[in-house]
Amino acid sequence: MSEKTWRLSPDRCFAAEPTQRAVARDLYAAVKDLPLIAPHGHVPPALLADPDARLGTPAELFIIPDHYILRMLYSQGVALEELGVPRRDGAAVETDHRRIWQRFAEHFHLFRATPTGLWLADELATLFGVEERLTGASAQRIYDHLEAQLARPEFTPRALLNRFGIEVLCTTDAATDPLDHHRKLHAEGLTHIRPTFRPDAVVNLDNPTWRTQIDALSAVSGVDVVDYASYVRALEQRRAAFKQLGALATDHAALTPYTARLSTHEADAIFQRALHGQADAADAVAFTGHMLMEMARMSIEDGLVMQLHVGSLRNHHDVLFTHFGPDMGADIPIATEWTRNLRPLLNAYGADPRFRLILFTLDESTYGRELAPLAGHYPAVRLGPPWWFFDSVNGMRRFFDRVIETAGLYNTAGFNDDTRAFASIPSRHDVWRRVSCDWLAGLVVQGMLAEDEAAEMAYECAYGLAKRAYCA
């Protein structure tokens, strides 16, 4: 059986209707090569700090670290061990990367009509020059091809960084991270790679390693954390250290957006209970709610943009977590209430011109009902792009259709790729640019926007909004 040639449509993600497609093409042509602003993601800074770093084997690049891939294969009965995912107990897993790749290729049809399928196609065909479709039959030929490409100097992370046209790339880093990689990058003048301050592990008292993290916080900050006051000082020290290495923002993940200020006395009492291993679930909720207020207060003082990601119930599958740890595709969203939960924080800080708060949801029913009305009122609020499962063609279309009429485009924060997979960055931005241009083209052909307005808005979607939201 002869394999199919892989020919990506130059018009992918564009409406079939010819007048809309023509406008979409024009809008897209003007923005497709703009520099990439990547203000939120999970690329490991080590990959860029070391000029000799390599992307690894095709299995290491595309499969083993990517929970989008793992979960889909797992859902159809492929064991994570067969995909080479290391077990916490050190039990044997597949080590033959060609066999891992073969399994992936044989299941590649599972990704049809998914964003992962769209990104993979673009990476393989556009970035790596693969010319036949990935199937069980073509798997080993394509592995050979990828291996050869990955050995070339054009495919080192540093080379790709330039080729991708990345203007800013923010990583996400624990509050306790010593930032050695970032220091190295900074010293080398790669100041467009920036850290982001993510303090969840030292803020959420129900984190099982919280106590250890506090010790690490003491060590890295040089502040001996013994009570709430020293804890706050240590956090402030870390924020300053992040800022010094170019940080633009903080990032906070919470199960709910509950916010409420505690008195210093209450905060300290909870903190002491936590230090002594005596904090309960209610303490954890109260403390996180308080610390979100406190982080907003600090943002006003130091100018770091505050990002809030809400609604993921992590590690839903206990056995899987026990065997493989977090980020295996078993984080499942829950419904989210924003209007009441965020009210204390917004009443305190939402109108402060020094404050910017970017909100991310996994509950699309809140787009039009809560988030767009909040962003369309509070000066501090911007809405982040569709997150995670919704970073997809339909997810983006729903975002535009439900958010913009109420919030306006200018209260959104453009795109971020949120990826761990460095090589997928251009593919992800490309989907966003295509979908946003197609959405604008739809408004033009329905007589609801002039073409010059649409062109300005396409530029905003591709570049301006993210730039202003994070770098202004």
Q: Which of residues 60-99 bind a copy of itself (CB under 8 A)?
A: 71-72, 74-77
Any contact of residue 280 with a copy of itself (CB under 8 A)? no
Scan residues 114-143 and list those touching a copy of itself (CB under 8 A): 114-115, 118, 133
x/- string (CB under 8 A) for a copy of itself, residues 343-362?
x--xx--xx-x--------x
Scan residues 372-411 and list those touching a copy of itself (CB under 8 A): 372-379, 381, 389-390, 392-395, 401-402, 404-411
Q: Whose Cβ is closer to a copy of itself: residue 226's or residue 313's?
A: 313
Q: Whose Cβ is closer to a copy of itself: residue 8's or residue 148's?
A: 8
Scan residues 251-270 and list those touching a copy of itself (CB under 8 A): none
Scan residues 421-440 and list those touching a copy of itself (CB under 8 A): none
Q: Whose Cβ is closer to a copy of itself: residue 211's or residue 340's?
A: 340
Q: Whose Cβ is closer to a copy of itself: residue 71's or residue 243's?
A: 71
Q: Judged by CB under 8 A, which stretch of 113-121, 153-161, 216-224, 267-275 contacts a copy of itself?
A: 113-121
Q: Whose Cβ is closer to a copy of itself: residue 141's or residue 377's?
A: 377
Q: Whose Cβ is closer to a copy of itself: residue 77's or residue 90's?
A: 77
Min. distance of Cβ 362 from a copy of itself in angstroms?
A: 6
Any contact of residue 364 with a copy of itself (CB under 8 A)? yes
User: Site for a copy of itself (CB under 8 A): which residue of 9, 90, 277, 472?
Assistant: 9
Scan residues 297-316 and list those touching a copy of itself (CB under 8 A): 313, 316
Scan residues 180-239 and list those touching a copy of itself (CB under 8 A): none
Q: Whose Cβ is closer to a copy of itself: residue 53's or residue 332's?
A: 332
Please state the length of the chain: 472
d(CA 311, CA 295): 19
x/- string (CB under 8 A) for a copy of itself, residues 317-346?
xxxx--------xxxxxxx-x-xx--x--x
Q: Whose Cβ is closer to a copy of itself: residue 199's or residue 311's?
A: 311
Q: Which residues pair with 252 in a beta bridge?
A: 308
Q: Judged by CB under 8 A, which stretch of 40-48, 90-98, 267-275, 450-458 contacts a copy of itself?
A: 450-458
Q: Judged by CB under 8 A, which stretch of 14-22, 46-54, 258-266, 293-301 contacts a copy of itself?
A: 14-22
**Number of residues near a copy of itself (by CB under 8 A):** 94
Q: Whose Cβ is closer to a copy of itself: residue 14's or residue 242's?
A: 14
d(CA 77, CA 71): 10
d(CA 252, CA 61): 27
Q: Whose Cβ is closer to a copy of itself: residue 163's or residue 316's?
A: 316
Any contact of residue 15 with a copy of itself (CB under 8 A)? yes
User: Site for a copy of itself (CB under 8 A): which residue of 113, 148, 159, 226?
Assistant: 113
Any contact of residue 164 with a copy of itself (CB under 8 A)? no
Between CA 174 and CA 186, with CA 180 as vertex, the angle to 5 degrees is: 110
Q: Which residues pair with 369 in a beta bridge?
A: none
Helices 67-75/115-122 angle, 10° precision:
120
